[in-house]
Structure 1
Amino acid sequence: MAEVKQLPTRKQVSPELTWDLTPIYHDQKAFEQAFEAVSSQIDQLPALQGELKNGPKSLLKVIEGILSAIRPAEKLYVYASLKHDQDTSNAINQALSGRTQMLMTRLGSNIAWFEPELLAIDRQTLEDWLKNAPELKPYVHYLRTITDERDHVLTPAAEKLLAQAGDALNASSDTFSVLNDADLEFPAVEDNDGNSVQLSQGIYDQLIQSTKPEVRQMAFKQLYAVYHQFRHTFASTLMGNVKTHNFLAKAHHYSDARQAAMGVNHIPVSVFDALVTSVNEHLPLLHRYVALRKQILKLPELHMYDLYTPITGEPKLSYSFEQAKEEALKALAVLGPDYLDHVKEAFNSRWIDVVENKGKRSGAYSSGMYDTSPYILLNWQDNLESLFTLVHEMGHSMHSYYTTHNQPYQYGDYSIFVAEIASTTNETLLTDYLLKTYPDKQVQAYVLNHYLDGFKGTVFRQTQFAEFEHFVHEQDGAGHPLTADFLSQHYLQLNQKYYGDAVISDPEIADEWSRIPHFYYNYYVYQYATGFAAANTLASRILSGDENKRAAYLNYLKSGSSDYPIQVMQKAGVDMTKTDYLDQAFAQFEKRLDQFEKLAKSMG
């Protein structure tokens, strides 16, 4: 029997393949000293309460006092999180993470009075301070992001009451999480090798990609049989969550839950409407793509469980991490020498934790804060998918780098609405580079399919989710009970509309709504679709070779939260209140689909 390859322990990994966290804290002693100092600062924050009304100088004192505690606390939290994720089995790292989480909770509690007290200042008085007090100039936008929501903030007593009711109002969401993640028991099914395996969410994600139709079908039917059994309970949890969103929106004087959720990031609802309208107009492109999948797979019928199996196979491309770095630099060269210099800095300064080791967190991410490097966690495999992951996470890190090096601390982060745009832009640039560099048909087919599947799963699928989410909120607002049968009937109709006649919308898919955690996130999913589409448009602008368009993109990376997200993107050349950027993205999808159809035909 062949020896099973074992993962290395953390100590066995070459230091060059690990991130260097010593620039954050040189050793444990330095961390403990910082922790003690920050803890003392946090204890002093309640003493600032009551000073805001005393004038602009007092307001400045309070803001600087709060930020001077948040900033080092955030640094402690990031360091502890990175240490924990490099080896989650390490007891010392576990303790660091737990302690910093409690520290952040205490920090939040000690500054909870700030926003209500700020909004208690007379509107005109505060406006006069912002216009006439030069010391407040660096914080004008920071304060306006809070005061813009003044009309939707209740009295301090009412806000306190709602805050105290938070656990009760979140009960439906919490119940869904426990039921979905812990209590559901799935049957055993056969895997690709004929072995009996216990079905789970993770195993399902693997089996639904099987090249054997019978394995995909069995996993699909068995998974949804369990969800169907509990559909009435899931309808109850979803209805309770929707009622919470609608109640809080009404209590805060919003027209509906959508306006309330999007208003937090100052996103007009027209962005949502433009997305849904444009996607619906371009559904024939999705129908074409799934019909092509049916043709390539040579299936007499295409079912919902056939949408995730690979249709091109893995190309014979292999990259060591060193080789992948060179490829990344070539793919991102269109962003200019300054951008490449910072990517090289990331490669040469040990910002990246590369290989998998025992206890290391799975997946990949970019993480950091204003006073640290934007570190990247990978679990490297020598394949093309890992190269895509590298450039994706590098997009996040370069966004963070440019922001923190061009904005003051109060604007040194960016909204979730724009967070995925830089990373997806990098992926799109890599797609373009690979298609131009590798003429091999198998590579071309893989890259094109990778792009088309990403577009399908992010733009089309997430907009389908967004449509359903808005529908259930509207129906609850109109007094319509959200029963399981009602939800499944509408979801099935929506699924049929999105995927068209080439796909059989199996009856099981009617219950898909019951297993989607994003429906509890309160109008979150649409941002995946808008971000992906915006990235496509930005990549096209960059690839045009127009220096002004590239400069506009780099300015977006530098903007942080110094302006509202919509305005930041408009300056980058994308007006997300209109459909132009979506139309451009769909034009790119159609171009890639045309290429893929032609290539598939030539490959037989």
Structure 2
Amino acid sequence: MVTSLPPRSTIPVEETWDLSSLYNSSDNFNLALESLEQEAEDLNQKFQGQIVNASTIILVLTDYMAFLEKLVLLSTHANLSASTDQTDDKAQLQSSKFGAAAAKIGSTLSFITSELLTLPKETVEQAIEESAEFNVFLKKLLRKKPYQLHPEAEKSLAAYSSTFNAPYGLYNTTKMVDMNFEDFEVNGQQYPLSYVSFEGDWEAEPDTEIRRAAFDAFSKKLKDYQHTTAKTYDIQLQTEKTTADLRGYDSIFDYLLFNQEVNRSLYDRQIDLITKELAPHMQKYAKLLQKVHGLDRMTFADLKISLDPSYEPEITVEESKQYIDDALAIMGPDYIEMVDRSYSERWIDFAQNKGKSTGAFCSSPYGNHPYILISWTGRMNEVFVLAHELGHAGHFYNANREQNILNARPSLYFIEAPSTMNEMLVANHLLKNSGDLKFKRWVISSIVARTYYHNFVTHLLEAAYQRKVYERIDAGQSVNAGILNTIKRSVLEEFWGDAVDITDGAELTWMRQPHYYLGLYPYTYSAGLTISTQVSKRILNEGQPAVDEWLEVLKAGGTKSPVELAQMAGVDITTEQPLRDTISYIGELVDELVRLTNEIEAE
């Protein structure tokens, strides 16, 4: 039974993460922040106007790299402290204080990039030849040269960075602090509702009347905040458009895709092919859900239900560790040691509490271990979620050890490949150990409903919606709640056709995702899963050689482009074939679910 969320102060410590390896007190945090602000001034005094040749390039980047390692730890502590309780004034003020200081630091040190890019290209290329440590960073920097502004303009923009980031913070405040959900009632009984309980429990509630009532109550509260949230989002969009224009990009898409190191064709391909070719498979899946559950009609509120709720085992945190250890054992002892440490050393925040960020994420600060946020519901589905986040952790656990801080982070396009890979490994492990028809159906339905639905449907439809929004912004227009609702509804109706009734409230799902404040992020989930689906097949068929190649990909970090990283793993994403193969594989899974259901019902 879902209960009201408790305040953070009442949560048992073992359900929370331990941030003390970052900073063990607010006093130490404040002292470190003050020290770093002074260090930024010292770097400015030491190097501004002095970056004139290859040797001084190497000197300034050596000091800058050491500086960034300290900055990352402060940033991580500020963000993670705030993420577990948006109602904690102390944590929120600390986060705001860091944001202001980081903006000042960024402005103080903006001269580094400006001076590097005003040097003759030959000078930078000489530094690239002389320093293996910085050659990747400098090559990427040279790509930015056409879009670099005057040093004083860069300094001013850096000073405003906390203001430019404000919409994301405002979105979270609206969502996690101001938005309080009343209980909803079904047949005279009251049920508690919150963001976490809706997305973690009520969306998958087997009782149709309760599930749909929860959806209606949840949507009603979202609607109360639609205009504020739309205005917040429009500020984000207009800021991005202004930045793209100022820097001279041809479009807002070119600006947002630049750092991803992929062109528009790879972006459009993910959205266009999946929208067109995956839709029939998912419509068949929706109709299967409707048939099995005996629903009068299939509504948007019914799409997250389990195919067989009786085969949704409850699972404790302790039990999840054994599942994950067994499933990921193929990755080797070093990887499993990381997984085990994440439990024993409290890298994971499992708690459900009021004010906590929704969903799940992994933060992997350079020079420290990863941290994972999740709201544990006890559903078996959480094993896939946790494996996903441990995939991010394993990626940066390897990359951070092998690369310097400037080279560790790969393109956003590739970022979801290691995470979704772990979901595939869990699925493959469970399938290998499933003899019972119902258990096999439950495993396959988990792959479809969790791994592929989440990454290839939920996030992909976000991407299709987001593209339509950016097309408006690129044309010099703005958005409001009515426009966003209309766009979202049209995307949902196009994908689901007559298989799903897009009921009132479905159009408000644009309000639920923070991804829209992170650039062109949503489509990268399907891009990453396309890569990991192909690599997981290789691991199934080839075993250790494919695993070894994948581990080398993880260690490469950001030293290669997404195309090169995929090639290292044996996948050619310059063609449509990997994506078409993945869509075909999803279709085969859905067909298998239909076959198994018919076989089970015939018994």
Tell me, yes or no, whether TM beats 0.5.
Answer: yes
Structure 2 CA distance for partners of 1:341 and 1:488, relative to 1, 3 Å:
closer
Tell me the distance in 1 between the aligned counterparts of 2:54 and 2:448.
54
Tell me the distance in 2 between the aligned counterparts of 1:452 and 1:141.
38
* Matched-pair contact (CA < 8 Å) for 2:111–2:155: no
Match 2:538 to one of 529, 541, 552: 541
Tell me the distance in 2 between the aligned counterparts of 1:590 and 1:89.
44
Partner residue, 1:400? 396
Partner residue, 2:579? 582
Partner residue, 1:283? 279
* Matched-pair contact (CA < 8 Å) for 1:10–1:87: no
2:65 paired with 1:67: yes
Q: CA deviation at 1:252?
A: 1.6
* Matched-pair contact (CA < 8 Å) for 2:149–2:247: yes
* Equivalences for residues 374-523 of structure 1 within 5 A: 374-376=370-372, 384-454=380-450, 455-478=452-475, 482=479, 487-513=484-510, 516-523=513-520
Match 1:126 to one of 124, 127, 131: 124
* Equivalences for residues 93-112 of structure 1 within 5 A: 104-112=102-110
- SS class of match (2:393): helix
* Equivalences for residues 118-197 of structure 1 within 5 A: 118-131=116-129, 134=130, 136-160=131-155, 162=157, 189-190=184-185, 194-195=189-190
Partner residue, 1:592? 589
2:259 paired with 1:261: no
Structure 2 CA distance for partners of 1:321 and 1:150, relative to 1, 3 Å:
same
Q: CA deviation at 1:144?
A: 2.0
Match 2:331 to one of 332, 335, 340: 335
* Matched-pair contact (CA < 8 Å) for 2:16–2:348: yes
Q: CA deviation at 1:462?
A: 1.9
Mean Cα deviation higher: 238-247 or 93-102: 93-102
- SS class of match (1:544): helix
Partner residue, 1:247? 242
In the alignment of these two chains, the number of paired residues is 595
Partner residue, 2:295? 299
Match 1:350 to one of 333, 341, 345: 345
Tell me the distance in 1 between the aligned counterparts of 2:196 and 2:66.
42
Mean Cα deviation higher: 371-380 or 567-576: 371-380
Mean Cα deviation higher: 258-267 or 557-566: 557-566
Tell me the distance in 2 between the aligned counterparts of 1:222 and 1:82.
30
Q: CA deviation at 1:153?
A: 1.6
Tell me the distance in 2 between the aligned counterparts of 1:88 and 1:231.
20
* Matched-pair contact (CA < 8 Å) for 1:52–1:118: no
Deviations 1:74-105 (A, max 9, x none): 34554676778899999998898777666645
Q: CA deviation at 1:537?
A: 1.9
2:111 paired with 1:116: no
Q: CA deviation at 1:402?
A: 1.5
Partner residue, 1:209? 204
* Matched-pair contact (CA < 8 Å) for 1:270–1:577: no
- SS class of match (2:309): coil
Structure 2 CA distance for partners of 1:51 and 1:542, relative to 1, 3 Å:
farther
Q: CA deviation at 1:260?
A: 0.6
* Matched-pair contact (CA < 8 Å) for 1:351–1:376: no
* Unaligned runs of at least 5 residues, structure 2: none
- SS class of match (1:410): coil
Tell me the distance in 2 between the aligned counterparts of 1:231 and 1:83.
27
Structure 2 CA distance for partners of 1:278 and 1:219, relative to 1, 3 Å:
same
Q: CA deviation at 1:196?
A: 6.2
Structure 2 CA distance for partners of 1:384 and 1:146, relative to 1, 3 Å:
same
Tell me the distance in 1 between the aligned counterparts of 2:179 and 2:341.
46
Tell me the distance in 1 between the aligned counterparts of 2:560 and 2:398.
15
* Matched-pair contact (CA < 8 Å) for 1:52–1:62: no
Q: CA deviation at 1:572?
A: 1.9
Tell me the distance in 2 between the aligned counterparts of 1:569 and 1:244.
33
Tell me the distance in 1 between the aligned counterparts of 2:226 and 2:21.
51
Partner residue, 2:529? 532
Q: Which amino acid aligns with 2:277?
A: E
- SS class of match (1:500): helix
2:550 paired with 1:553: yes
Structure 2 CA distance for partners of 1:203 and 1:67, relative to 1, 3 Å:
same
- SS class of match (2:406): helix
Q: CA deviation at 1:434?
A: 0.9
Tell me the distance in 2 between the aligned counterparts of 1:291 and 1:172.
39
Q: CA deviation at 1:392?
A: 2.7
- SS class of match (1:563): coil
Tell me the distance in 1 between the aligned counterparts of 2:513 and 2:547.
37
Structure 2 CA distance for partners of 1:31 and 1:238, relative to 1, 3 Å:
closer
* Unaligned runs of at least 5 residues, structure 1: none
Deviations 1:546-570 (A, max 9, x none): 5442222111110111223332223
Tell me the distance in 1 between the aligned counterparts of 2:388 and 2:369.
17
Structure 2 CA distance for partners of 1:488 and 1:120, relative to 1, 3 Å:
same
Structure 2 CA distance for partners of 1:35 and 1:390, relative to 1, 3 Å:
same
Q: Which amino acid aligns with 1:217?
A: R
TM-score, length of structure 2 as denominator length: 0.83
Tell me the distance in 1 between the aligned counterparts of 2:138 and 2:301.
49
* Matched-pair contact (CA < 8 Å) for 1:172–1:240: yes
Tell me the distance in 2 between the aligned counterparts of 1:474 and 1:12.
47
Q: CA deviation at 1:151?
A: 0.8
Between Structure 1 and Structure 2, whose CA radius of gyration is higher?
1
* Matched-pair contact (CA < 8 Å) for 2:177–2:355: no
- SS class of match (2:416): helix
Mean Cα deviation higher: 305-314 or 202-211: 202-211
Tell me the distance in 1 between the aligned counterparts of 2:380 and 2:563.
34
Partner residue, 1:272? 267
Q: Cα RMSD over matched residues? A: 4.2
Mean Cα deviation higher: 538-547 or 480-489: 480-489
Q: CA deviation at 1:288?
A: 0.9
Tell me the distance in 2 between the aligned counterparts of 1:139 and 1:496.
49
Q: CA deviation at 1:423?
A: 2.0
Mean Cα deviation higher: 386-395 or 490-499: 386-395
Q: Which amino acid aligns with 1:145?
A: K
Q: Which amino acid aligns with 1:598?
A: R
Structure 2 CA distance for partners of 1:296 and 1:181, relative to 1, 3 Å:
same
* Matched-pair contact (CA < 8 Å) for 2:408–2:558: yes
Structure 2 CA distance for partners of 1:386 and 1:492, relative to 1, 3 Å:
closer
Q: CA deviation at 1:386?
A: 4.0
- SS class of match (1:418): coil
Q: CA deviation at 1:248?
A: 2.5
